[in-house]
Amino acid sequence: MLLVRVATRGSLLALTQTGWVIDQLRAANPGVDFELQIFKTVGDKVLDVALSQIGGKGLFTKELEDALLADKADIAVHSLKDMPTEFPEGLMLGCVPQREDPRDVVITADGTKFADLPRGTLVGTSSLRRLAQLRAARPDLEYGSIRGNVDTRLRKLQEGQVGALIMAAAGLHRAGFTDRITEYLEPDFCLPAPGQGALAIEIRENDPAIAEVVGRLHDSAAAVTVSAERALLARLQGGCQVPIGARAVIDRGLVHLEGLIASPDGGQVIRYAASGPEDGAAALGVQVAEWLLAHGGDEILARLN
């Protein structure tokens, strides 16, 4: 019997996501066994500093990738939005499973929606992208970085350490906290991160047996949309230090992509949307990124780099 060793982070959300992936892989691959391997990443260890201040790429992926390269694991399960746009030599994207809801959400203890939050309310978010867009809409609120597992952040809200949380819908759905969501933020108000809501299964190159096992979970529509979004991200060379948003959808054979780059203070928010064929998703991502750069994005990047 083939044994597939699955690398994951140890957070509640990571374990829940990886458990879902293993369940799907088991159903699609009778006779294959799976073993969980838990690793701690830099992003898991450093919880008192905003991601944008830690610097570097692969804050939630490097240790899992090292395990693949050292043959301590056969596949690694990531939140795709955490993955750098370039893979280490010897590794590749094995598949993109069906995508969850990519939107951001608001969570408040008493059900107050974002537009109705009292002036001065402290809003917790760990994302510069969210911060920039929310500041542009509500500069009268206070914003603070909040890190930790899903359940840790929800506890901080209940304890009154923050008045509202902004988080990814996908993580709350997967972790069983859908009932805590107060409001979904539509992309025209808060554009999601590139790849948000999607999972990525990373494998070694030249490993056909593992590629066949994970390939049975591949969702072509999810792969096309994240291809467009990640191509935009790659062209903008953005990491956690740059507020970048992207959202692609497929409608009647066309990919519609909207991209955003903003200054961290929300004073400058540049958005652009375009459409193209599915087989040109990556080229569409570059096209949208080039427009953003030509209309002020290059100046934002120059100030941040």
> Residue 10, Cβ neighbours under 10 Å: how many?
14
Using CA atoms, how far apart are residues 184 and 173, in angstroms rounded to an integer?
Answer: 12
For the chain, what's the residue count?
A: 305
- What is the residue-wise DSSP string for 176-224? T-GGG--EEEPTTTSPPPTTTT-EEEEEETT-HHHHHHHHTT--HHHHH
Give me 282's structure tokens: 């990556």
Q: Is 82 a catalytic residue?
A: yes
Q: Exactly one of 23, 44, 48, 82 is catalytic; which is it?
A: 82
β-bridge mates for residue 28, sequence order: none
CA distance 44 to 60: 7
Instruction: Tell how strand 269-277 and strand 254-262 pair up.
Output: antiparallel
Give the whole-angstrom CA distance, residue 194 versus residue 202: 17
- The catalytic residue positions are 82
